[in-house]
Amino acid sequence: MNILAIETSCDDTSISLVSCTGDLENLVSTTYAQVISSQINIHKKYGGVVPSLASREHEKNIDLVLKEVLSKANLGKNKAKDFIDAIAVTTSPGLMPSLLIGVNFAKSLSYFLDKPLISVNHLLGHICSNFVSLEEKEYLVNFKYPAVSLLVSGGHTQLYSFDSLEKFILKGETKDDAAGECFDKIAKMLNLGYPGGPAISKESLKVKNFNYDFSLPRPMIKSDDFNFSFSGLKTAVLYLIQKLKKENKLNQETISQICYESEKAICEVLVKKTIKLALQENAKTIFLSGGVAANKTLREMLKQESEKNNIQFIAPQIKLTMDNATMIGVAGYVTYLKKGFSKFEDVKASLEEKIF
Ligand code: KG4
Ligand code: ZN
């Protein structure tokens, strides 16, 4: 099935052409073309995504992104009509003004091209970024169930367990800030810019000798459940910055050390809880996804701990960790295999978090 996939849930306008075959046990995907129009430069000066500006940019760019993706795939308008079998679009969750642009665009295309629609959950999209590659060749991931999935983005921090791609059981999630949000807020306090995750990683790499005389909390690391909390860590960093300022000790070196220790604190909690769930579920595979999955420390720590416990570790290509339409195309196919095409009138933007 050749899918035109559309993603506008936050601040990236993305359209992809993805082909999927096989069933839920053996899902084969091929990416023909992907285009992402990032809005980072617009939102950067506000230190976070401004929803009204995000929807304005989506509206401005979405038809240009469509034209570019068709040209990248060497498809003219008429060829594209023959090529596309279905249109997948992110309908939830996300920023409502942003979602509306993609959903309305997809519905108009569906109506005029007479192609069926698939309504896609963005979180399933992130999980499915593990089942696709950006190269134009057939891609199949070999792994065994039971599986556990850590999804860490700017809006979500969730742990799922699953025995098939038909049912995802939410085992735990953040009770306040998401991990990515925590990176972003700490970076903002240190004037490191937006998005915070890559900026904090870059700073922490500068640390050669970690001779700090402070430590930051690892919130809920010992709790009995699989939930997370990151707002306390953010507050601890705020107090630390205030203290260092008062003592005239906030300088390049201490800023790098705060970044190093913050990144370590976030990663340690994420890894500890993921491994704990994997062991409880007798998992054979651990999947990682979401924007924070681009973090090298997190990838390395989780890989090491997974392998120590004889569990296969799978993470998406770095380019597929951020919001993109390719993962939405594959998630669209998974959704189609489970539920068939969506009814035109049921395709609506919503804030629903549940995957199915
Ligand atoms: O998945 P995503 O692109 O958008 C959402 O669905 O939220 O995730 C964006 C988040 C931001 O909070 C950003 O700071 C974080 O992912 N991020 C990172 C890194 N790259 C992006 N966090 C830590 N380390 C990174 N290298
Ligand atoms: Zn996302």
Ligand 1 atom nearest the C-alpha of 126 is 1
Structure confidence at residue 194 (pLDDT): 92
To which H or E segment does residue 130 belong?
Answer: none
pLDDT exceeding 70 applies to what percent of the chain? 100
Distance CA 296, CA 258 (A): 17
The domains located in the chain, with CATH, are 2-135+319-346 (3.30.420.40), 147-316 (3.30.420.40)
Structure confidence at residue 127 (pLDDT): 98
Q: Which of 292, 318, 321 to mutate to test the pocket of ligand 1 (most atoms within 8 A of CB)?
A: 292
Ligand nearest to the CA of 193: 1
Residue 184: phi, psi to the nearest 5?
A: -65, -40
pTM (whole model) above 0.85: yes
Q: How far is CA 331 from the centre of its chain?
A: 13
- State the burial class of residue 46 (Cβ atoms within 10 Å of its Cβ: 0-12, 13-18, 19+): exposed
Structure confidence at residue 208 (pLDDT): 83
Distance CA 272, CA 48 (A): 29
Specify whether the CB–CB gap between 341 and 117 falls below 8 A.
Answer: yes
List ligand 1's pocket residues with C-beta within 6 A: 10, 153-155, 180-181, 183-184, 195-198, 201, 290-292, 294-295, 322-323
Cβ count near 182 (within 10 Å): 30
Distance CA 315, CA 326 (A): 15
Q: Token match 């003004």: residue?
A: 97
Structure confidence at residue 256 (pLDDT): 96
Structure confidence at residue 69 (pLDDT): 98
Q: Token match 């507050």: residue?
A: 235
Cβ count near 331 (within 10 Å): 32
Structure confidence at residue 47 (pLDDT): 87
Nearest Cα to Cα of residue 309 among 278, 334, 345: 278
Structure confidence at residue 210 (pLDDT): 72
Average pLDDT for consecutive 10-residue bins of the chain (356 residues)?
Answer: 98 98 96 97 92 98 98 95 98 98 98 98 98 95 97 97 97 98 97 96 90 88 97 97 96 95 97 98 98 98 98 98 98 98 98 95
Ligand nearest to the CA of 157: 1
Structure confidence at residue 211 (pLDDT): 74
Nearest Cα to Cα of residue 289 among 183, 205, 179, 189: 179
Q: Token match 């969506």: residue?
A: 342
